[in-house]
Structure 1
Amino acid sequence: MQKKTDRRTFLAAAGATATTVALAGCSSGGSDDDNGDNGSSGGADVPSEVDTYLSDNSANLYEGSAVDETGSSSVSVDVGGGSDGLAFDPPAVIVSPGTEVTWEWTGNGGAHNVVSADSAATSFDSGSAQQGSDITFSKTFESAGNNPYYCTPHQSVGMHGAIIVQEE
């Protein structure tokens, strides 16, 4: 004899199943690293020299990993990222030799510039700090190496970043 299920019982069971499926999605896909990412692109290892530079300078938005853009011909970095406009977003990017990096001003956080640190493998400088959202600065990185950089007016408040050029 088959038991008849009323609408209320059916909906309660369906809701419990949907909740279980939804929660199962939240608990999967974690990684064993402690940088908070979920193992997707963007959680690449950072060379110790770059990690030290970004950590010692309390780089805004830096959480111990880099966005992996190797193989991309061009990459963009926001200048004036973060909630206060005082960050490069992403703060660390890994690219292949020959990649053009374009820094794009968001218009947030005041006047900014992009200047390579003394230890950079490639020297670059966008010039004096500028304010606005229609400003860009581009540099093509031809050779492998670490390229830490900063914003001169906001260097002391953690506006630092790095372009890591690696052979594929």
Structure 2
Amino acid sequence: MSDRQSRRRFLGASGAVALTTIAGCLGGDEDSADGNADEGGMENGDEETANGEESGDEETANGEENGDDEEVENGEDDVPMVAEVPTEIDDYLQDAPNYDGGMVDATGQDQVTIALTAESVFEPPAVRVDSGTTIQWLWQGGAHNVVSDAASAAEFKSGSVVLEEGETFEQSFDDGIQRYYCEPHVDLGMLGAVDVVAPDQ
């Protein structure tokens, strides 16, 4: 687990504690109908801990499942996340400003869209897909292109830099780690990666 993931979990749990505290201040001293709520509005017993985590191996406040489950959800939009990002991808994306150490798990989907944004980032920066999945890069602002990195498993390029919003470039891959960047914004960390895996049988 990287330091970024640990900080993210800490911040998520801290946010849940802060929200619980604020809710308790706003809620006054009212008890629940069965008398099991304390002054902070939290239920007593085993259902929820002070940092917003449910007891047992169910789900934490930031949406991550406890235990040894492969799939982790980030809690924001309930987007499935890969539990372990390949080291090659993690190392490659360290300079991407929107990379937080996570990877979207889009396996099982026929098509996945990656946005090229006005903030000069690929969103999401890291995605895992099944072989044969169509990756669609969608221009949402700024002058960008998509170019495979020299260490990418396949060579691909969208062409010249495009400024027009709504422009798309599509590519599918058989397998391997696909690393790519935007030529005019590579120095700003406009980097992305797709981990292409064999579909589950």
**TM-score normalised to structure 1 length:** 0.76
Q: Which residue of 2 aligns with 1:27?
A: 53
**Unmatched runs of 5 consecutive residues or more in structure 1:** 1-10
* Distance in structure 2 (CA, Å) of the matches to 1:122 and 1:24: 48
Q: Point out the structure with max Rg over C-alpha.
A: 1
Q: Which residue of 1 aligns with 2:135?
A: 101
Quick one: which of 85, 88, 91 aligns to 2:125?
91
Secondary structure at the residue paired with 1:14?
Answer: coil
* Distance in structure 2 (CA, Å) of the matches to 1:134 and 1:100: 17
CA shift at 1:19, angstroms? 2.9
Are 1:41 and 2:80 matched, yes or no?
yes
**Unmatched runs of 5 consecutive residues or more in structure 2:** 1-28, 67-71
Are 1:79 and 2:102 matched, yes or no?
no
Deviations 1:30-86 (A, max 9, x none): 347xx994596124422111111112xx11211112101111111001111xxx621
CA shift at 1:14, angstroms? 2.9
Are 1:160 and 2:191 matched, yes or no?
yes
* Distance in structure 2 (CA, Å) of the matches to 1:161 and 1:67: 12
Secondary structure at the residue paired with 1:161?
Answer: strand
* Distance in structure 2 (CA, Å) of the matches to 1:99 and 1:144: 10
Aligned length: 148
* Distance in structure 2 (CA, Å) of the matches to 1:104 and 1:162: 15
**TM-score normalised to structure 2 length:** 0.65
Q: Which residue of 1 aligns with 2:163?
A: 131
Q: Which residue of 2 aligns with 1:3?
A: none
Contact 1:60–1:160 (CA under 8 A) maintained in structure 2: no
CA RMSD across the alignment:
2.9
CA shift at 1:120, angstroms? 0.8
* Distance in structure 1 (CA, Å) of the matches to 2:83 and 2:146: 23
Contact 1:60–1:91 (CA under 8 A) maintained in structure 2: no
* Distance in structure 2 (CA, Å) of the matches to 1:118 and 1:154: 17
Q: Which residue of 2 aligns with 1:4?
A: none
Secondary structure at the residue paired with 1:77?
Answer: strand
One-letter identity of the residue aligned with 2:119: G
